[in-house]
Amino acid sequence: METELKGSFIELRKALFQLNARDASLLSTAQALLRWHDAHQFCSRSGQPTKKNVAGSKRVCPSNNIIYYPQMAPVVITLVSDGTRCLLARQSSFPKGMYSALAGFCDIGESVEETIRREVAEEVGLEVESLQYYASQHWPFPSGSLMIACHATVKPGQTEIQVNLRELETAAWFSHDDVATALKRKGPYTQQQNGTFPFWLPPKLAISHQLIKEWVEKQICSSLPA
Protein backbone atom coordinates (compact mmCIF):
# COMPACT_ATOMS: atom_id res chain seq x y z
CA MET A 1 0.00 0.00 0.00
CA GLU A 2 2.85 2.39 0.80
CA THR A 3 4.39 1.73 -2.62
CA GLU A 4 1.10 2.16 -4.43
CA LEU A 5 0.20 5.41 -2.68
CA LYS A 6 3.79 6.66 -2.56
CA GLY A 7 3.62 7.34 1.15
CA SER A 8 4.39 5.70 4.47
CA PHE A 9 2.54 4.84 7.69
CA ILE A 10 3.46 6.80 10.80
CA GLU A 11 2.18 6.90 14.37
CA LEU A 12 -0.82 9.14 15.00
CA ARG A 13 1.14 11.15 17.59
CA LYS A 14 3.64 12.10 14.90
CA ALA A 15 0.91 12.62 12.29
CA LEU A 16 -0.67 15.32 14.47
CA PHE A 17 2.25 17.58 13.59
CA GLN A 18 1.20 17.44 9.94
CA LEU A 19 -2.62 17.18 9.89
CA ASN A 20 -5.17 19.98 9.75
CA ALA A 21 -7.71 20.32 12.56
CA ARG A 22 -10.53 18.52 10.73
CA ASP A 23 -8.49 15.45 9.75
CA ALA A 24 -6.84 15.26 13.16
CA SER A 25 -10.24 15.26 14.88
CA LEU A 26 -11.58 12.50 12.60
CA LEU A 27 -8.53 10.27 13.08
CA SER A 28 -8.44 10.89 16.84
CA THR A 29 -12.10 9.90 17.19
CA ALA A 30 -11.61 6.83 14.99
CA GLN A 31 -8.61 5.58 16.95
CA ALA A 32 -10.31 6.07 20.32
CA LEU A 33 -13.46 4.29 19.11
CA LEU A 34 -11.53 1.35 17.63
CA ARG A 35 -9.56 0.91 20.84
CA TRP A 36 -12.77 1.01 22.89
CA HIS A 37 -14.36 -1.69 20.74
CA ASP A 38 -11.24 -3.83 21.03
CA ALA A 39 -11.33 -3.60 24.84
CA HIS A 40 -15.08 -4.27 25.22
CA GLN A 41 -15.66 -7.42 23.21
CA PHE A 42 -17.08 -9.27 26.22
CA CYS A 43 -19.76 -8.39 28.77
CA SER A 44 -18.39 -7.63 32.23
CA ARG A 45 -21.49 -9.18 33.82
CA SER A 46 -22.04 -12.40 31.86
CA GLY A 47 -18.70 -12.89 30.15
CA GLN A 48 -20.49 -13.42 26.85
CA PRO A 49 -19.36 -11.75 23.59
CA THR A 50 -20.94 -8.35 22.95
CA LYS A 51 -22.14 -7.15 19.56
CA LYS A 52 -21.73 -3.66 18.16
CA ASN A 53 -24.45 -1.79 16.31
CA VAL A 54 -24.04 -0.75 12.69
CA ALA A 55 -22.90 2.78 13.58
CA GLY A 56 -20.37 1.48 16.08
CA SER A 57 -21.74 3.80 18.76
CA LYS A 58 -22.46 1.05 21.31
CA ARG A 59 -22.11 -2.64 22.14
CA VAL A 60 -24.87 -4.90 23.48
CA CYS A 61 -24.71 -8.17 25.39
CA PRO A 62 -27.31 -10.52 23.76
CA SER A 63 -27.68 -12.59 26.94
CA ASN A 64 -28.83 -9.78 29.25
CA ASN A 65 -29.33 -6.75 26.94
CA ILE A 66 -26.81 -4.62 28.84
CA ILE A 67 -25.74 -1.72 26.62
CA TYR A 68 -22.18 -0.43 26.70
CA TYR A 69 -21.38 3.06 25.41
CA PRO A 70 -17.92 4.47 24.63
CA GLN A 71 -16.44 6.40 27.52
CA MET A 72 -13.66 8.93 27.96
CA ALA A 73 -11.38 9.26 30.95
CA PRO A 74 -11.29 12.83 32.39
CA VAL A 75 -7.78 14.28 32.54
CA VAL A 76 -6.76 17.70 33.87
CA ILE A 77 -3.96 19.56 32.13
CA THR A 78 -2.73 22.52 34.12
CA LEU A 79 -0.38 25.38 33.34
CA VAL A 80 1.05 26.61 36.62
CA SER A 81 2.30 30.19 36.88
CA ASP A 82 3.86 32.31 39.60
CA GLY A 83 2.78 35.52 37.86
CA THR A 84 5.77 36.08 35.57
CA ARG A 85 6.88 32.53 34.76
CA CYS A 86 5.14 29.30 33.88
CA LEU A 87 6.05 25.79 34.93
CA LEU A 88 6.59 23.17 32.23
CA ALA A 89 7.61 19.55 32.58
CA ARG A 90 8.48 16.51 30.52
CA GLN A 91 8.09 12.75 30.89
CA SER A 92 10.69 10.30 29.63
CA SER A 93 8.22 9.19 26.93
CA PHE A 94 8.10 12.70 25.39
CA PRO A 95 10.06 13.45 22.20
CA LYS A 96 13.48 14.84 23.03
CA GLY A 97 13.36 18.51 24.02
CA MET A 98 9.57 18.76 24.30
CA TYR A 99 7.99 20.22 27.44
CA SER A 100 4.31 20.56 28.27
CA ALA A 101 1.90 21.51 31.05
CA LEU A 102 1.25 19.16 33.97
CA ALA A 103 -1.43 16.52 33.38
CA GLY A 104 -3.11 13.73 35.32
CA PHE A 105 -6.23 11.58 35.47
CA CYS A 106 -9.15 12.47 37.74
CA ASP A 107 -9.67 9.94 40.52
CA ILE A 108 -13.14 8.65 41.41
CA GLY A 109 -14.86 11.06 43.77
CA GLU A 110 -12.66 14.04 42.85
CA SER A 111 -13.74 17.33 41.37
CA VAL A 112 -11.61 18.98 38.67
CA GLU A 113 -10.34 21.49 41.23
CA GLU A 114 -9.34 18.74 43.67
CA THR A 115 -7.53 16.83 40.93
CA ILE A 116 -5.53 19.89 39.91
CA ARG A 117 -4.43 20.64 43.46
CA ARG A 118 -3.48 16.99 44.06
CA GLU A 119 -1.61 16.55 40.76
CA VAL A 120 0.41 19.76 41.15
CA ALA A 121 1.32 18.82 44.73
CA GLU A 122 2.22 15.24 43.76
CA GLU A 123 4.27 16.04 40.68
CA VAL A 124 6.15 19.23 41.63
CA GLY A 125 5.41 19.80 45.33
CA LEU A 126 3.62 23.12 44.89
CA GLU A 127 0.40 24.39 46.48
CA VAL A 128 -2.12 25.94 44.08
CA GLU A 129 -3.46 29.31 45.25
CA SER A 130 -6.10 29.86 42.53
CA LEU A 131 -7.20 28.27 39.28
CA GLN A 132 -9.24 29.12 36.20
CA TYR A 133 -10.86 26.90 33.56
CA TYR A 134 -9.67 27.43 29.99
CA ALA A 135 -11.12 24.82 27.56
CA SER A 136 -11.48 21.08 26.88
CA GLN A 137 -10.47 18.70 24.09
CA HIS A 138 -10.85 15.07 23.18
CA TRP A 139 -7.46 13.33 23.03
CA PRO A 140 -7.06 9.79 21.66
CA PHE A 141 -4.21 8.79 23.96
CA PRO A 142 -3.84 6.49 25.75
CA SER A 143 -7.31 5.19 24.88
CA GLY A 144 -9.63 8.20 24.72
CA SER A 145 -9.41 11.08 27.20
CA LEU A 146 -11.27 14.32 27.84
CA MET A 147 -8.56 16.90 28.44
CA ILE A 148 -9.74 19.65 30.80
CA ALA A 149 -7.33 22.57 30.53
CA CYS A 150 -6.89 25.10 33.33
CA HIS A 151 -4.58 27.86 34.48
CA ALA A 152 -3.31 27.73 38.06
CA THR A 153 -1.26 30.15 40.11
CA VAL A 154 0.96 29.67 43.13
CA LYS A 155 2.13 32.23 45.62
CA PRO A 156 5.24 34.11 44.37
CA GLY A 157 7.21 33.18 47.48
CA GLN A 158 6.39 29.47 47.25
CA THR A 159 7.93 28.40 43.95
CA GLU A 160 10.59 25.83 44.89
CA ILE A 161 10.00 22.75 42.70
CA GLN A 162 10.29 19.24 44.10
CA VAL A 163 10.10 16.96 41.05
CA ASN A 164 8.48 13.57 41.54
CA LEU A 165 10.87 11.46 39.46
CA ARG A 166 8.41 8.56 39.40
CA GLU A 167 6.05 10.78 37.41
CA LEU A 168 8.33 13.22 35.56
CA GLU A 169 11.78 13.33 34.04
CA THR A 170 12.20 17.00 34.88
CA ALA A 171 10.29 20.25 35.46
CA ALA A 172 11.33 23.90 35.47
CA TRP A 173 10.15 27.49 35.45
CA PHE A 174 10.31 29.24 32.07
CA SER A 175 10.21 32.96 31.36
CA HIS A 176 7.73 34.63 29.02
CA ASP A 177 10.44 35.21 26.40
CA ASP A 178 11.60 31.58 26.49
CA VAL A 179 8.07 30.29 25.99
CA ALA A 180 7.20 32.85 23.32
CA THR A 181 10.28 31.76 21.35
CA ALA A 182 9.42 28.07 21.76
CA LEU A 183 5.90 28.67 20.43
CA LYS A 184 7.42 29.79 17.13
CA ARG A 185 9.41 26.58 16.73
CA LYS A 186 8.14 23.51 14.91
CA GLY A 187 9.27 20.15 16.28
CA PRO A 188 10.37 17.51 16.72
CA TYR A 189 14.02 18.47 16.55
CA THR A 190 17.25 16.60 15.96
CA GLN A 191 20.13 16.58 18.38
CA GLN A 192 22.44 19.58 18.23
CA GLN A 193 26.24 19.41 18.03
CA ASN A 194 26.57 19.97 21.78
CA GLY A 195 24.32 16.96 22.46
CA THR A 196 21.26 18.93 23.56
CA PHE A 197 17.83 19.33 21.99
CA PRO A 198 16.06 22.69 21.47
CA PHE A 199 13.24 23.46 23.90
CA TRP A 200 9.94 23.12 22.04
CA LEU A 201 6.24 22.67 22.79
CA PRO A 202 3.40 20.32 21.74
CA PRO A 203 1.84 20.81 18.28
CA LYS A 204 -0.76 23.51 17.67
CA LEU A 205 -3.62 20.99 17.60
CA ALA A 206 -2.92 19.94 21.20
CA ILE A 207 -4.82 21.85 23.86
CA SER A 208 -1.60 22.15 25.88
CA HIS A 209 -0.18 24.31 23.08
CA GLN A 210 -3.26 26.56 23.14
CA LEU A 211 -3.15 26.78 26.93
CA ILE A 212 0.48 27.88 26.87
CA LYS A 213 -0.16 30.30 24.00
CA GLU A 214 -2.98 31.99 25.93
CA TRP A 215 -0.70 32.47 28.93
CA VAL A 216 1.91 34.17 26.71
CA GLU A 217 -0.71 36.45 25.16
CA LYS A 218 -2.09 37.41 28.57
CA GLN A 219 1.41 38.33 29.72
CA ILE A 220 1.81 40.60 26.69
CA CYS A 221 -1.54 42.29 27.30
CA SER A 222 -0.81 42.88 30.99
CA SER A 223 2.52 44.54 30.14
CA LEU A 224 0.97 47.04 27.72
CA PRO A 225 0.35 50.56 29.05
CA ALA A 226 -3.26 51.36 29.94
What pLDDT, on the 0 to 100 scale, is given for residue 222? Answer: 64
SS (H, E, C) 154-209: CCCCCCCCCCCCCCCCEEEEEEHHHHHHHHCCCCCCCCCCCCCCCCECCCCCCHHH
**Domains in the chain: boundaries:** 1-66, 71-185+200-221
Mean pLDDT across 152-181: 94
Contact indicator for 55, 70 with CB cutoff of 8 Å = no
Nearest to 113 by CA among 151, 145, 144, 146: 151
What pLDDT, on the 0 to 100 scale, is given for residue 75? Answer: 96
pLDDT-derived band at 153, boundaries 50, 70, 90: very high
CATH number for the 71-185+200-221 domain, one of 3.40.630.40, 3.90.79.10, 2.40.160.20, 3.40.50.2300?
A: 3.90.79.10
- Alpha-carbon distance of 160 to 143, in angstroms, equals 34
pLDDT-derived band at 16, boundaries 50, 70, 90: confident
Q: Which phi and psi (to 5°) does residue 81 adopt?
A: -135, 150
| Res 166 pLDDT > 60 | yes
Percent of the chain whose predicted confidence (pLDDT) is above 70: 93
- Alpha-carbon distance of 138 to 33, in angstroms, equals 12
pTM, two decimals, is 0.85
Mean pLDDT across 132-153: 92
